[in-house]
Structure 1
Amino acid sequence: MNLLRGKISPKEALKGLAHNPVVWLASLILFLVLMIVAAAADVPNPSIKQNDFELTDAWVEMTKLDADHSKDGNQFYTNFDGVMFYMNEKFDDYEVNGVLSNGQPAKTYLSDLWTALNGKAPNYEVTTMDDLEKKGTYALSSDDNSTMNEMIREMGYQVLDGQLAFPYATDNLIINRRFGYEGADLHQSIEVTTSENQPIVAPLSGKVTVNSNQQVTIENTNQEEKVSLQKIDTSRLTNGQNITSSALIGKSLASTLEITLQKYDDETKSWKRVNPAFYFPKVTYTQMTQLAANDYNPDSSQLASAQAIYNYAMAHGRTLNGICAVLGNYQVEGNLDPTAVETIYDEPFKMGPKKQAAQAAGFAIEKMDAAYAARYPAIKEAGIGLGQWTNERDIALQAFAKAQKKPWYDGSLQIQFATTGDSPGAITALNNTLQGKVGKDLPTLTNYFLTYWEGNPGDKISERIQAAQNWQAYFTRASSGSSGKSDVSVPPEYAGKLTEPAPNEQDVTGYPGNNYALNNCTWYVYNREYQLGNHIPANLGNGGQWGISAKAAGYATSSTPKVGDMASFSPGTDGSSSIYGHVAFVEVVNPDGSFLVSEMNVVDPGSGKISYRVISSNAGITFIDPTK
């Protein structure tokens, strides 16, 4: 003030301020404020900017797009986590029913983004959000992309309030039914994999409410969120009691646990359901996109093993989904190689020197690969064979092989061991999977087999499901059109199951009255029926015409096979000629409806060879009773 009034010089003013303690204190405070502001400016935005309800609305909208496109044999389960993070990075806390900062309606943008991820009908082609972010319409700058991925790694969904503890001991929650649309219905909970009698703990602290529907609800003390868990034994709980997070609340009553999460919306003064998957430390989804156009063609060596397992299982009344769940696991474990030995990958489908040395060492891991043994101390003996049997189970396999006087790396022997010689628990888990007792859908069965047969929950589950889906696509295609596998020998798993006499030489050379083309499918079926005392007309036409012609001639026809029937394949069915169709003889009918046929003109066409094949689907086939 004296300086402003002209009473002192600037030099005297500065000297006075320098000796004033108040000035020093004010300077220190100012310095600290500036440091805080600078530090805050360097903190990147969190990975999620939307609130709980906006985020769930965006998730639901994307699942509706999946559901709307799931038809004509296509089933979409797009990975939306990448979409959620991308949209929050690019548009902050947008609303699904609003307009984005680029002026485009949010729903339109999300629909276009879904198409970029999955393609358009009928030529769908799946890609990932990671790929879209690198170039093209949805590309981010390298700095933005790097920052976003760093925030996803460090924060992810954990920036949301009200994080939950796992409901049981795990480091990865396996979700087999996600939150969102399924067809026209909105499913507002998640289902996670568990097992009967598994201890279940509280995902958060709060007050307990128990209802008669085997459901427990826990509402936190500040009344901001409440979580409900269904299919739990609630006998140890009482209404109104307080419980802490991770405290035991009961035991699971089923193989799945349903979890619902509600958050209180201060604006509407009401409870709203949100996606529980956002609030657990780590989750993995088992539902994956499956396209009708999957044209998976396996390696011939893999196919030989897979076909043997498929034929055996189908002959014993197993389900296609169950079989493919096992195949998917076996492929990821040991590449469907019966000679496979853990850590030895460069001698596929043969017993090379390394595998022979491993066998001589008793498959002891520390003698084969010391570094691997140190990394996995629980493994004493290496996994071997189709199922990568390890520790005591690999010893049991070798003993079983010795008793059968066969090498342990014989694929057929390993199938026999898996179904009859393995540990009782393993055989039960295998049968539960193959028969579909623990679930109907492929992901659930694949995950069950991984958990209870492999004993390694969560390990490479996405890879296993994808492999299982590939086998499902292959065998579905094989049974409905182009890749039926025929063999000139009766499959070994059908030994003793054929009730009719085996084909004889005259089935090839011909019986009286056979006017069909020599060595054609019609030539053979006429002969086969004649051998069994059934004299059918010699003018039924091409194989694909027999169903109609035989019915017109007074023979009974059906869509369901029985032993002794003539099976007329409409043109193009199960690899038959797109012009002439095919006809075969039904030798065995399996409990699941699949059937074994004998036929001609399939292996080495024109050679007169009789061959056998398992058919899984009745679609496009008419069965003709040869008696009249």
Structure 2
Amino acid sequence: MKSEKDNRIKRKFSSRRTQKQRLERRLKDYEGSSPRQARLEAKAEFKKRRKTRKEREKEIVKRHGRDAVKKRNVFSNVETKNAKNVNKRLKKQDDTYLGNRIKSSIKTGVQHKVTSSSAQKLKAQLRNDDVLAEGVDTYDKVQQGKYYGRVTKSTGKVTGKIGKNLITIPYDGAVRTKNLLRGRGFQKTPYEKQFFGLRKQTSQARRKLQLKMRRQARRFAGRYKKTTKIGRFFGRRFKNIFGDLFGKGIMRSKIVWVFIGLCAFCLILAGATGMPGLKQDNQEINETWLALTKEDAEHTDSTHRYFTDWQPFMFQLNGMFGDFDPKDTNQGAGYQKLRKFDDKGTYPVVLTKLYEETHKKSKALTSQELMDGKNEDGEKAADIIQNPWFVMNNDVRDDIDASRRMGFSVLGHELADMQDNPEDKPVQIARRYGYEKVNDKTELHDGNTIVVTPNQAVKAPLAGKVSVLNDHAIRIFIDKGHDLVVDGLTNFRAYDGQEIQEGDILGDASSNQLELQYKLWNSYEKEWFSANVGFYFRKVEFLQFTSIVDDDFDPSSKVEDRALTIWQHLKDKGYTMEGVAAMIGNFAVESNINPKRAEGDYLKAPVGSSDNSWDDDNWLNMSGPQIYDGRFPNIVHRGLGLGQWTDVAPGPGGRNTALREYAKSKNKKWYSLTLQIDFMLEADSGANIAKNILSTKNTDVGALAIQFQQSWEGNPGDKTAERVQAALNWFSYLQTHGDDKTEADKKKSDQKKESEKKANDTIKEVEDAEKDNRTVSW
């Protein structure tokens, strides 16, 4: 009996714990909603469950009788109870619920009555003392003043609301009636089209223009700080000259000096407006970048891959058009200088025209070539002068050249190098911020991928407060300033809430890439906007570039056979043409798709190859210093085969050794073509990476080639353009010739079978003739 009682208690306890856990899970569904909204939603859910339960009970009673209700309706009862408990819990948390307000008012009233009665008794005792009585009276007057203040404030709020409603309600009714009579329906006119809305837009535009002028003045004011000493020097000389000419009495006049100061200020301001440097602010120049990358993405397809470096063109656009908004579609008189590009003369059209003129010829033009009029086919002076992109004004050309030398530093918000860089190398951007073509769709990539050295310390590129987002990402931000997310870290040195300075260590790089998401604050628009880090690092190099399939691509027969053999071998294993083309493009640069290659084999023997060297372990084990006269000590054993598999420090025992050991296990030569492909998928250290890339379908072949280079080859930035171009060429070639080898092999196999059948038939006929002593006709 005792054990049954204990079991019953345990079951009851377990059931309550389960109900409590289920209740907590249900309550989490209402997080983020206001207490009143959550209560109403829970109430509706409870009513729905209760109605469902009652309908279920009626159905069971009708079919099986009243006794079957408890047995067959357990689940409905549990769900209803859970919904009821959630409703009760949320009802208690809602202060706007009438019952809670009544309870609160009663509780507050009782507390006030108790405290007030106690206070009154205390005051009565204090009033008996002449000194303390004055303090009590003063306290009562202060409290009475606060009470009158609260009453006046609440009365003012109510009066204001009533007055506002007395004006707005009739006005809204009149506006709705007016729209109804004009056939626009009984609805309000949007605020933006009303008088006050238009007035607000006008004032905002005026303030924006004033802010731009102040910002531009501040930007150029710093460039004239060094002129103050020179100004004082010449000021004294002019004072002496004017004093001699007009007399000291005139020069002592304040009016004369105010006039001279105004003239000098006008001259400086006139010079400042024509000074070189970027005229756009941070958001405008980043929106211009986005618009141009969108043009690249929309023109990209399977055979053409556009990643134009638009950064140099920013200086030309700012020199020609000044401080412009790339989204501005105004066609007013203020944009007459754009009419030579298009009848509409709007900036979006100008940016589209810029793309078309830059890619008018087979090779994309540079900004300087466009300024020189090289986009025109003819060389006549009249044609070049009529070219809208030809910059004829020497002052404008000089300003653009000076702006290029100054760079993007005038934008501010600079980013420092994120790793030690003693050789002052540029930051390599593997994937840029902007639009790109993904699965035939134009999508925005909101981040920036940069190349770093794995397992080395990563420094903060700017100062700010640290926020740890997860186990691989850190955020550095300043409120209403900048916001940088660094993803791809491990072994954090920074901690949550730390005020970090530029150059402090954040952690280590977990791979050879970091993903950066950089945002800046627009103080006028009161909003954040994403930014291209290429504008803010001191020196950058984009690894994405324009690649177009070569129509004249015609590989030699041997290279073609090897490439088609690789394609057929991997196709039979279920891998995609895109992935195989990306891999072959890399192998074309590494080994010319030749499995019988070794690092340095083109040199003279004994370092270079000979007839017997390919099976000589001593030759295959040559190191970097032996091949390159003491250089590259990190190469323990030379690179071999299609992918130049190498043993690197702290080897041996790397990919070179693994390839040869794999060949021995298969009783084949290491320079067998299909053996190396099987080794890459089965025994190589990068097998999983290779399989992942080879399995990728419907994506950019050029991007896959870069991914193969960075992740599998492990040498980012090494002849990337050649690899991407080779991958695109081979992808186009496989699309047109990939099935030819399959059909040829099938035909050859059929011919072989047919000849074997004829030979067997002939032998059988000879044997039969010998038995019958007949002569066979050959």
TM over 0.5, shorter chain: yes
Q: Distance in 2 between matches of 1:194 and 1:283?
A: 13
Alignment CA distance shift 1:73-1:330 (3 Å): closer
Q: 1:387 aligns with which of 633, 643, 650?
A: 643
Alignment CA distance shift 1:133-1:205 (3 Å): same
Q: Distance in 2 between matches of 1:282 and 1:133?
A: 24
Answer yes or no: is the 8 Å Cα contact 1:72–1:292 preserved in 2.
no
For 2:352, the equivalent position in structure 1 comes to 111
Answer yes or no: is the 8 Å Cα contact 2:459–2:504 preserved in 1.
yes
Q: 2:571 aligns with which of 304, 314, 319?
A: 314
Q: 1:427 aligns with which of 687, 697, 708?
A: 687
Task: State the Cα deviation string for residues 446-494 of structure 1 (Å, max 9, x = none).
Answer: 33332333222232223322222222222233358xx555443799xxx
For 1:259, the equivalent position in structure 2 comes to 516
Question: Does 1:418 pair with 2:680?
Answer: yes
Q: Distance in 2 between matches of 1:430 and 1:338?
A: 17
For 1:160, the equivalent position in structure 2 comes to 411
Task: State the Cα deviation string for residues 401-425 of structure 1 (Å, max 9, x = none).
Answer: 5676665544344334434454xx2
Question: Does 1:227 pair with 2:484?
Answer: yes
Task: State the Cα deviation string for residues 179-223 of structure 1 (Å, max 9, x = none).
Answer: 2476565544334568999976533210134558986432248x5
Alignment CA distance shift 1:132-1:458 (3 Å): same
For 1:178, the equivalent position in structure 2 comes to 433
Alignment CA distance shift 1:378-1:269 (3 Å): same
For 1:206, the equivalent position in structure 2 comes to 464
Task: State the Cα deviation string for residues 511-548 of structure 1 (Å, max 9, x = none).
Answer: xxxxxxxxxxxxxxxxxxxxxxxxxxxxxxxxxxxxxx
For 1:355, the equivalent position in structure 2 comes to 609
Q: Distance in 1 between matches of 2:363 and 2:310?
A: 13
Q: Distance in 2 between matches of 1:132 and 1:294?
A: 26
Task: Specify every segment of 5 or more residues in structure 2 that has no aligned partner in the other structure, as ranges.
Answer: 1-231, 239-266, 377-386, 759-778
**SS of match in other structure, 1:227:** strand
For 2:730, the equivalent position in structure 1 comes to 471
Q: Distance in 2 between matches of 1:319 and 1:73?
A: 17
For 1:461, the equivalent position in structure 2 comes to 720
Q: When you count strand as a share of all residues, which structure comes out higher?
A: 1
Q: How does 1:85-104 map to 2 (within 5 A)?
A: 85-96=315-326, 97=328, 99=335, 104=340
Task: State the Cα deviation string for residues 4-32 of structure 1 (Å, max 9, x = none).
Answer: xxxxxxxxxxxxxxxxxxxxx9589979x
Q: 2:705 aligns with which of 431, 438, 446?
A: 446
Question: Does 1:272 pair with 2:529?
Answer: yes
For 2:295, the equivalent position in structure 1 comes to 65
Q: Distance in 1 between matches of 2:623 and 2:489?
A: 43
Alignment CA distance shift 1:142-1:219 (3 Å): same
For 1:77, the equivalent position in structure 2 comes to 307
Alignment CA distance shift 1:88-1:214 (3 Å): same
For 1:576, the equivalent position in structure 2 comes to none
Greater RCO (Cα-Cα under 8 Å, separation 6 or more)? 1
Alignment CA distance shift 1:303-1:247 (3 Å): farther
Alignment CA distance shift 1:261-1:316 (3 Å): same
Q: How does 1:227-376 map to 2 (within 5 A)?
A: 227-229=484-486, 240-249=497-506, 258-285=515-542, 287-289=544-546, 296-343=553-600, 354-356=608-610, 362=619, 363-370=622-629, 373-374=630-631, 376=632
Q: Distance in 2 between matches of 1:200 and 1:353?
A: 40
Give identity over the alignment, percent.
Answer: 27
Task: Specify every segment of 5 or more residues in structure 1 that has no aligned partner in the other structure, as ranges.
Answer: 1-24, 32-36, 492-497, 510-628
TM-score, normalised via structure 1 length = 0.57
For 1:557, the equivalent position in structure 2 comes to none
Query: Residue type of the partner of 1:323?
Result: V
Alpha-carbon RMSD: 5.0
Alignment CA distance shift 1:112-1:234 (3 Å): same
**SS of match in other structure, 1:458:** coil
For 1:512, the equivalent position in structure 2 comes to none
**SS of match in other structure, 1:488:** helix
Answer yes or no: is the 8 Å Cα contact 1:332–1:463 preserved in 2.
yes
Question: Paired residues, what number?
Answer: 450
Q: Distance in 2 between matches of 1:148 and 1:345?
A: 48
**SS of match in other structure, 2:530:** strand
Task: State the Cα deviation string for residues 46-78 of structure 1 (Å, max 9, x = none).
Answer: 674533222112112212323444469765433
* Larger gyration radius, structure 1 or structure 2: 2
Q: Distance in 1 between matches of 2:606 and 2:709?
A: 29
TM-score, normalised via structure 2 length = 0.47
Answer yes or no: is the 8 Å Cα contact 1:198–1:251 preserved in 2.
yes
**SS of match in other structure, 2:353:** helix
Query: Residue type of the partner of 2:714?
Result: G
Q: Distance in 1 between matches of 2:606 and 2:336?
A: 61
Q: Distance in 2 between matches of 1:54 and 1:430?
A: 41
Query: Residue type of the partner of 1:445?
Result: L
Alignment CA distance shift 1:58-1:251 (3 Å): same
Alignment CA distance shift 1:184-1:467 (3 Å): closer
For 2:90, the equivalent position in structure 1 comes to none
How far residue 231 of structure 1 moved from its aligned partner, in angstroms, is 7.2
